[in-house]
Chains A and B, each alone.
Chain A
Amino acid sequence: TVGCVAVDSAGNLASATSTGGYVNKMVGRIGDTPVIGAGTYANHLCAVSATGKGEYIIRATVAREVAALMEYKGLSLTEAAAYAVEQSGPRGCCGLVAVSANGEVAMPYNTTGMFRACATEDGYTEVAIWPKN
């Protein structure tokens, strides 16, 4: 699975996700990627793209969860994204990238690693696979 989220200087947000799914999946199996609110979601607060075990991500509506936690519980993007990944299912099932309307970035995951990269207008960039520490 691959994905990208972006916000411009005017606060416009978008999310895009694409995948081949699971190795050895049944023919006709749908994963989280095309399910809006599960693997992909964007509203006026944030944009989210998820990856991992699709069946868990669909059950937990992970991408929408991040936006809802920000909207109804007033969590920051970082807090909301971390909580949504933590609640998504057992260790090893999920990761996501997200940006917020005010240019915050979050890339939490509960797997061993996640191929990820980000950049912000204030000059911060990161390209990584495993935890930084």
Chain B
Amino acid sequence: MVGWAIALHGGAGDIPMDLPDERRIPRETALRHCLDLGVSALKSGRHPLDVTELVVRELENHPDFNAGKGSVLTTQGTVEMEASIMDGKTKRCGAVSGLTTVVNPISVARLVMEKTPHIYLGFDGAQAFARAHGVETVESSHFITPENIARLKQAKEFNRVQLDYTAPTPNLPEVSGDSQIG
């Protein structure tokens, strides 16, 4: 055994190399903050399940990343969040999709892993399970940021779904009646 280690990400994509400082620096600062949080949790002997949940909750709460607050929008302008968590030793795991009001979806995924015989709950069932377990919920509007409203508008103009940070490009030829690109 060599020792503890941790890695985290805030999404990948066509992140322009000339990203302005006012957009780059808050994200780098958040990454460093979340890394420090995870490292001190590992050093204090917390289990990696607790450490990864703690770090992802922090990232979900940061509006600059596409999860929790700051989640991107569906074609209807709504938020549908999803998450999963897995323990290596036991291979126990939990996953959720279609959450619309839960502040930290990753904690609901963990509850699915620990409180049900299942692995994956989605949409109404996942929402009801979250409510039944008293996790923090807010109005869906809490998750919608002006930046993501603008990005949805842009994506619609260019008639495409957009990867986390891919800058929109002009209209792509529609294939079989709707955009086929990710």
Contacts and interface: CB of A to CB of B under 8 A. Distances in A.
Question: Are A and B bound to each other?
Answer: yes
B166 to A, nearest CB: 8
B17 interface: yes
B3 A103 contact: yes
B133 interface: no
A34 B47 contact: no
B12 A114 contact: yes
A20 B49 CA distance: 21
Contacts of B79: 20
Contact of B162 (A11, A24, A92): A24
B180 to A, nearest CB: 10
A99 B7 contact: yes
A104 to B, nearest CB: 7
By secondary structure, the B interface counts as mixed
A97 B8 contact: yes
Interface string A37-74: 00111111111010111111000000000000000000
Most buried by A among B13, B39, B73, B162: B13
Most buried by B among A2, A14, A23, A95: A2
Contact of A99 (B6, B11, B27, B160): B6
Interface residues of A, number: 84
B15 A113 contact: yes
A47 B92 CA distance: 13
B176 interface: no
A15 B52 contact: yes
A34 B81 CA distance: 10
Contacts of A39: 84
B83 A115 contact: no
A2 B71 CA distance: 10
Contact of B27 (A11, A13, A27, A129): A129
A111 B12 contact: yes
